[in-house]
Amino acid sequence: MTPKELAGALQRQLNPRRARWQRPAALVRALGLRRGQAIAEIGCGPGYFTPRLARAVGPSGHVYAVDPEPAVLDVMRRRLRGVRNVTPVLGRDDDPLLPRGRCEAAVLINVYHHMHGGARFLRRLVAELPRHARVVNVDWNETTEFGPPPKRRVPRARFLRDARRAGLRLVAERAILPHQYFLVLRRAR
């Protein structure tokens, strides 16, 4: 990532106006996190959600904030300022490198459409989570006018096909965001 690309990404992702459509408080509430839980934030970027997730699980909980882009992870780390229950994880493109069996939920927000080989990534992710863990994926609807160009999006149906192949099944869906789907998955039996 060039310095110019990094600056552009930070400008977009940390823009306070983003709250209008991203509804971060409602989104985090809908995750239904409990205090004391260990969770993974996959593709944390510069940390728009990271401190909010850290607050939701509380000081006895933990957030593993994963991103494969070192410069972005550095920004996230600097923005944490005193937040103690977050571990930045430099993941790989094909593997989040989470501590095995530890995270009760993995949250992906605006990430899956950035992944190359997302299906393989999901299989690695599932293998690193305990059986009862939830995976939540939030990404762009196919039809909304706002957001990335349509050809760069991952339609809901395509994500669900990849998820099924990774051994996940859809257990819930929340219609709380104007431009994005919100899918909750668990390991298939």
Which residues of this protein are in contact with ligand SAM, per CB under 6 A? 13, 42-45, 48-49, 66-69, 72, 91, 93, 109-111, 114-115, 121
For residues 108 and 136, the answer to whether their CB atoms sit within 8 Å is yes
58: number of Cβ within 10 Å: 14
Shortest separation between residue 47's beta carbon and ligand SAM, angstroms: 8
Output 121 or 182, the one with its CB closest to ligand SAM.
Answer: 121
Shortest separation between residue 41's beta carbon and ligand SAM, angstroms: 7
**Residue that is written with structure tokens 């760069």 in the block:** 152
Strands 168-173 and 180-187: antiparallel
CA distances from 143 to 10, 98, 103 (A): 25, 33, 33
For residue 155 the two structure tokens come to 């339609």
Output 23 or 114, the one with its CB closest to ligand SAM.
Answer: 114
- Residues contacting residue 140 through CB under 8 Å, at least 6 positions apart: 110, 113, 147, 148, 153, 154, 179, 180, 181
Shortest separation between residue 67's beta carbon and ligand SAM, angstroms: 5
Shortest separation between residue 49's beta carbon and ligand SAM, angstroms: 6
Shortest separation between residue 119's beta carbon and ligand SAM, angstroms: 12
- The residue at minimum Cβ distance from ligand SAM is 45
Output 116 or 189, the one with its CB closest to ligand SAM.
Answer: 116
Output 147 or 167, the one with its CB closest to ligand SAM.
Answer: 147
Question: What's the CA gap between 184 and 186, in Å, rounded?
Answer: 7
Output 124 or 187, the one with its CB closest to ligand SAM.
Answer: 124
